[in-house]
Amino acid sequence: MKFIDEVKIKVKAGDGGRGCVSFRREKFVPRGGPNGGDGGDGGDVVAVADAQLATLLDLRYQKQYRAGRGEHGRGKDQYGKKGEDRIITVPVGTVMRDAATGELLADLKATGERVVLAHGGKGGKGNAHFVSSTNRSPRHAQPGLSGEEKELDIELRLLADVGIVGLPNVGKSTLIAAISAARPKIADYPFTTLVPYLGVVSYGEGKSYVIADIPGLIEGAHRGEGLGHRFLKHVSRTSLLLHLLDASQIREEDPLAEWRVVNRELELFDTALAERQQIVVANKMDLPEGREKFRLLEKLLPPAFGPACAISAVTGEGLQELKRLMGVKLEQAKAAKDEGHVAAGL
C-alpha cells in the first residue's frame, strides 16, 4: 500500500431546502390559511477517525466531497428531509486545517473521534411561519441557506510511543524488524527506508508499545534536504526518541559529531523535539571496531543523555535490555503526565 501523509481536498456541505408557499384548499374549509412547510437542513461533511486505516491514499484520488442537499418544503405543513451527511474516514492521528486561514479544524487522536468539517445550510421557513394579524395570507417563504464550502490541508501524524531517529544506514530498519513484527525493506545503500514504519514491541507480561522507524536524516534536513524532513512530523507525538548511531562509524577525533548533527536537525525543525527524552543507542556491536569506538562515545556523551546503550540488531545483543528500558521510560513519562493532570485538576 502506498504511504500518503499529505493531501488537499475540497468539501461542500449541503444547501438548505426552500420553504414552501402553500394554502390549505379543502372542501368545507373556508379560509384554510397558509400551510407551507419548511425546507430541510443541508447535510454536514464529517470526518471520522478509523484505526483500520494507515494512510491518506483514498483522499489522494478523490479531491471533492459533497453532502446532500435538504429537501424543499411542501404543502400541508410537510417539512423537507435533512440532507444526508457525507462521512470521510481518515486514519487516527490525522490533522485538518483550513487551507485559506491555516485554522486548525481537527486533530483526531482516537478511534471513532469525529468532527464536522463543513456545516450544512439552514432550511428556509415556509409561509406558515409568516402569518400575522396584518398579513393573514403571506405569499412568501425563505430560500435555504448555502452550506459551508472549504478547501482543507490534511496531514497524517503517526501515533507512536517511540520514534527511531538517526542518520541513513545506521540500522534503524534492522532494529525495528528485530524487536517487532514490522518488516521494512533492508539494504546497504542510503535512503533504503522511504516511508515510516510502525511496529508493536512487547516487553514484560501483557505490556507493549508502538515504535516508529523514520527515514534517515542528513545535515540540512530541516531545509528539505534528503528524505527524513518530510517525516519528522511523525515523531512530534512520541513520548520518547531512540537516537540510533552506527558504532563502527563513530569518529575517533569527534565521537559525538553524528549525534550532534541529528540533534541539530531536530531542534531546527521543532525545538520541542530537541527537548524530548532520548535514549542514545550504538548499533553494530558485532563489528570489531564498534565496541572500541563505543567506549569513546560513552566517555563524552553528556550525562543528561546517558548512559548510552550498546546493541547489535543483527545478533540480538542488548535488545531485550533495550526493549525493557524503553518500556520503563514510557511508564515513567506516563506517570509524570498523569501527576501533572491531577495537579492541574484535569
Please report, for the domain that includes residue 102, its CATH number: 2.70.210.12
pLDDT at 329 over 80: yes
Strands 162-165 and 104-108, by their bridges, are unpaired
For the chain, the average pLDDT equals 86
State residue 332's pLDDT score.
86
**Residue 11 to residue 154: CA distance in whole angstroms:** 12
Residues 283 and 206 grouped into a single domain:
yes
pLDDT(223) > 60: no
Residue range(s) defining the domain that contains residue 335: 162-344
- Considering the domain architecture, whether residues 100 and 189 belong to the same structural domain is answered as no
Q: Is residue 69 part of a domain?
A: yes
Which of these three, 156, 185, 204, is where a domain ends?
156
Question: Of all residues in the chain, what percent carry a pLDDT higher than 70?
Answer: 90
The answer to whether residues 288 and 263 belong to one domain is yes
Residue 320 lies in a domain: yes
Structural domain ending residue among the three candidates 139, 156, 173: 156
Predicted local confidence at residue 32, as pLDDT: 81
Least confident of 5-9, 70-74, 120-124: 5-9
pLDDT at 344: 59
Residue 191 confidence (pLDDT): 58
Q: What per-residue confidence (pLDDT) applies to 346? A: 57
pLDDT (average), residues 40-54: 92
**pLDDT value, residue 104:** 93
- The structure's pTM equals 0.73
Q: How many domains does the chain have?
A: 2
295 pLDDT more than 60: yes
Same domain for 204 and 271: yes
- 215 and 334 together in one domain: yes
Same domain flag for 89 and 123: yes
**pLDDT, position 22:** 93
Asked if residue 1 is part of any domain, the answer here is no
Does pLDDT of 169 surpass 90? no
- Looking at residue 324, its pLDDT comes to 92
Task: Return the C-alpha cell found at 137.
Answer: 395570507
Q: Are residues 243 and 309 in the same domain?
A: yes
Q: With 90 as the cut, is the pLDDT of residue 31 above it?
A: no
What integer is the mean pLDDT of 136-146? 92
Identify the domain boundary among 156, 175, 208: 156
CATH number of domain containing 308:
3.40.50.300
- With contact defined as beta carbons under 8 Å apart, do 32 and 68 qualify? no
Name the nearest CA neighbour of 163 among 92, 99, 236, 218.
236
Q: Clarify whether residues 24 and 147 are in a common domain.
A: yes
248 and 321 co-located in one domain: yes
